[in-house]
């Protein structure tokens, strides 16, 4: 079964308090040299049938209408080998 990954991240101009919390905690934990952290969501979809252009268009629409809030979030759709 083919796997398609949808990554959803806050747009760069949107404040990311989760990512900031992680970034600020790192030096305390002994990890330096990380200038910025952004935290987002990863969806792994197991797709029945072939992942052709029609299936990808459907998944794109699904991501746009349901998985991501496109007012504040960007998303990418990738087929995993």
Q: Which residues bind a copy of itself (CB under 8 A)?
A: 1, 7, 9, 19, 22, 25-26, 29, 31, 33-49, 55, 58, 61-62, 65-67
Quote the least distance from Cβ 37 to a copy of itself, whole Å. 6
User: Do the beta carbons of residue 51 and residue 81 sit within 8 Å?
Assistant: no
Whole-number minimum distance, CB 46 to a copy of itself, in Å? 4
Look at residues 56, 78, 79, 59 and name the one whose alpha carbon lies nearest to residue 67.
59
Phi first, then psi: give them for residue 60, nearest 5 degrees.
-60, -45
Q: Shortest gap between Cβ of 17 and a copy of itself (angstroms)?
A: 14
């Amino acid at each position: 079964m083919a796997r398609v990954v949808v990554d959803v991240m806050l747009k760069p101009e949107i404040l990311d308090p989760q990512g900031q919390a992680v970034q600020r905690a790192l030096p305390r934990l002994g990890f330096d040299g990380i200038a910025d952290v952004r935290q987002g969501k990863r969806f792994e979809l197991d797709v029945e049938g072939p992942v052709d252009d029609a299936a990808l268009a459907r998944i794109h629409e699904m991501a746009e209408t349901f998985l991501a809030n496109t007012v504040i979030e960007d998303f990418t759709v990738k087929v995993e080998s």
